[in-house]
Amino acid sequence: MNVVDRFIKYVKIDTQSDENSSQTPSTQKQFNLAKEVEHEIIEMGLSDISLDNNCYLMASLPANTNKKIPTIGFIAHFDTSPDMKGENVNPRIVKNYDGKDIVLNEAQQIVSSPSDFPELLNHIGEDLIVTDGTTLLGADDKAGIAEIINAVQYLIDHPEIEHGKIRIGFTPDEEIGRGTDHFDVEKFGAEWAYTMDGSEVGELEYENFNAASAKITIQGRNVHPGYAKNKMINALHVANELAAMLPADERPECTEKYEGFFHLIGINGTVDKASISYIIRDHDRDIFENRKNQMQEAVASLNNRYGDRLKLEIRDQYYNMREKVEPVKYIVDYAFRAMEAVGLTPNVKPIRGGTDGARLSFMGLPCPNIFTGSLNFHGRYEFLPIPSMEKAMGVIVKIVELVAKDYGAEE
């Protein structure tokens, strides 16, 4: 099965995760794809196959040489984002894209235009996989799964390519920040790995945000508005005061590259009681800690003004993997060399977000992130250039080949 057919089969299986669920996986339907992939890798003849009760699937391609070559891994995730409908995905292929608007859904007048998404123009002349405008595509991260499986099949079909033991792993619930909660690093048994979970062709990432969530609950004091003077404390107004105390130019819509932010993601409530939720992000660990301190100081100031009516809960979510990857930078270099070998110019950049690889790196499995080729994640305008998928497959194969050559030369 070619990588396109495999990908299209995968995206038609609904695997949307649910942040409101406390179970792992957060949705049982993720097992539908896990069992399909398990069936495929059994037929391929892989070994050490295990699908556990938490929907973590692992397997091995045994080494085809007696040389002492490190075991390396490749990882992707089953789930798709809760941000957009993920069932009844109906992908189609736009042949030889001409650089013009793509009508995704004529009946609903949904159009993907290069005037809105100029990255489309980087793929003129290529075949693109797009949505029908009513769902996301699910290339994040089903493209990664398909690329890993087809790369492994290529290695099986080409035994002349010498390689060590290859581990592959697929996880649930990455999109809701729980993708590594039950990942058994010792069982996986790789010296290092790569997540196939990036975007544009050529992207290579080993830096990501330090991340925290902040939730503030505010107890107001509701009094009849006709008699409220010097009595009422409107929890909604206090929430707005808090938002105004944080720097307006340090929001996601005002930042890029290495710039961090405070991102207001929710305000809920009434005069009597309200809650306000933020995510806090920064690549620099010291600045990240300062941002958390800013939030604490803002809450303390309002508590001083209103009499301890605000409660703040800050929870660290993940940290910048650079701290763990940089001491073994050669694993990034392998990916860089592999991209060059397949004709790409590597684009080494920080992730303005996080991946499973960030947490895995702190769990003892250094894990840079490699492109899948897909763009405009989590929405109806998501698309995937087919040549980019093929390049991602090629990068996986080439990494395996380069590692075997380098370590084989040391024997």
Q: What is the DSSP string of 278-343?
A: EEEEESSHHHHHHHHHHHHHHHHHHHHHHTS-EEEEEEEEE--THHHHGGGTHHHHHHHHHHHHTT
Tally the residues of the chain. 411
390 belongs to the catalytic site: no
Asked if residues 327 and 296 have their Cβ atoms less than 8 Å apart, the reply is no
276: buried, middle or exposed (CB in 10 Å: 19+, 13-18, 0-12)? buried
Q: Report the alpha-carbon distance of residue 302 to residue 275 in Å, rounded.
A: 14
At residue 106, the pLDDT reads 93
Catalytic option among 79, 132, 282, 356: 79
Residue in the block written with tokens 């690889």: 357
At residue 409, the pLDDT reads 58
Residue in the block written with tokens 């499995």: 365
- The C-alpha torsion from 237 through 239 and 242 to 244, rounded to 10°, is -60
Catalytic option among 38, 174, 390, 401: 174
Provide the residue-wise pLDDT of the chain in tens; the chain has 411 residues: 899 999 999 999 999 999 889 999 999 999 999 999 999 999 999 999 999 999 999 999 999 999 999 999 999 999 999 988 889 999 999 999 999 999 999 999 999 999 999 999 999 999 999 999 999 999 999 999 999 999 999 999 999 999 999 999 999 999 988 899 999 999 999 999 999 999 999 999 999 999 999 999 999 999 999 999 999 999 999 999 999 999 999 999 999 989 999 999 999 999 999 999 999 999 999 999 999 999 999 999 999 999 999 999 999 988 999 999 999 999 999 999 999 999 999 999 998 887 889 999 999 999 999 999 999 998 999 999 999 999 999 999 999 999 999 986 554
Helix (H, G, I), strand (E, B) or coil at 174: helix
- Domains plus CATH for the chain? 3-207+321-409 (3.40.630.10), 210-317 (3.30.70.360)
How far is residue 123 CA from its own chain's centroid? 23
244, two tokens: 């105004």
79 belongs to the catalytic site: yes
At residue 353, the pLDDT reads 80
92, two tokens: 């189609």
The DSSP string of 37-59 is HHHHHHHHT-EEEEE-TT--EEE
